[in-house]
Structure 1
Amino acid sequence: FVTNTGAAFSLFRNGGVFWLRWLSLLVSLGLMAMAWFGPRFNRWEQVGYGLILGGALGNGIDRFISGYVVDFLDFRLIHFPVFNLADVSINIGIWCLIIATFRIKT
């Protein structure tokens, strides 16, 4: 159980709380508007944007309510920073968008 007042991997933990909560809200609103009014996306893009939206909302809600995000996945054997499922969701969503970008359109 680790409280993270910064962004991923505790970046901006000194003074980033205020603007990170608004950034999460802005990204979430932008993704919702894009889903509602934007162009039709292929499945990889839909999954990618959905995962990013879910992760941004999850972390954003934590930041607005508590002022920090709770990180709880800790793999000490490989000395990797502590993270949470919302972070995993955002990263998988980014990989889905990368796959969609390089996928051959047929």
Structure 2
Amino acid sequence: MTTQTSKLKTNIIFFVMFVLLVFIDRITKIFSVNTLKEKPDIDIIKGFLQLHYLENRGAAWGMFQGARVIFIIITAIIIIISIVYLIKSDYTKGNLLLRIAIILLISGAIGNLIDRVLYTYVVDFIYVSAINFPVFNVADCYVCIAAALIIIYSLKSEDKAKDKGKEEEHA
């Protein structure tokens, strides 16, 4: 298989992954609006996890309320930079984790961007009451998982660089 064919296949897989992730986020938010907006919380695990409708006009955990335009601009910049990175990056197995993280990041960013544009707020609905954690949504999960994967990728890359440096010293 040629490199071009391999890149095309990889891009198609990542695009399908992106579409599926955004679709899951949208479906869960539509469910939330239609089911939870006018009703009390739904217990998933009593005393631990509930579905609770919330309109978040801020950023993470409701910080910076009312800064919608700034969030839209920052989100658009992050999405553009991420897409450019995906297009320009090499397709080695070594950066697969980073590429998956970026797809998750873009999917989460677009999921919340759609809310900000359509509703002027982000629909949140997952509430971990056992620790009184702020209400969040599926797109937020994508962004958090992406951040964790980027940290893991960075630590692994740093370890590889140290190992390579040690090999060069002993050569």
Same fold (TM over 0.5): yes
Q: Amino acid of the residue matched to residue 67 of structure 2?
A: G
After TM superposition, the runs of 4+ consecutive aligned structure 1 residues lying more than 2 A away are 37-41
| Structure 1: distance between partners of 2:116 and 2:152 | 30
User: Which residue of the partner structure matches residue 3 of structure 2?
Assistant: none
Q: Which runs of 5+ in 1 are unaligned?
A: none
User: Which residue of the partner structure matches residue 155 of structure 2?
Assistant: 102
Report deviation, 1:39.
4.4
Matching of residue 2 in structure 1 with residue 34 in structure 2: no
Name which structure has the greater RCO, CA cutoff 8 Å, separation 6+.
Answer: 1
For the aligned residues, what is the CA RMSD?
1.6
Q: Amino acid of the residue matched to residue 87 of structure 1?
A: D
Paired-residue identity, %: 30
Residue 31 of structure 1: SS of its match in structure 2?
helix
Residue 83 of structure 1: SS of its match in structure 2?
coil
User: Which residue of the partner structure matches residue 104 of structure 2?
Assistant: 51
User: Which residue of the partner structure matches residue 32 of structure 1?
Assistant: 83
Report deviation, 1:80.
0.3
User: Which residue of the partner structure matches residue 68 of structure 1?
Assistant: 121
Structure exhibiting the larger radius of gyration computed from Cα positions:
2
TM normalised by structure 2 equals 0.58
Matching of residue 88 in structure 1 with residue 141 in structure 2: yes
Residue 133 of structure 2: SS of its match in structure 1?
coil
Which structure dedicates a bigger proportion of its chain to strand? 2
Which sits farther off after the overlay, 82-91 or 16-25? 16-25
Residue 74 of structure 1: SS of its match in structure 2?
strand
Q: Which runs of 5+ in 2 are unaligned?
A: 1-52, 165-171
Task: Number of aligned residue pairs: give it.
Answer: 105
Q: Amino acid of the residue matched to residue 69 of structure 2?
A: F
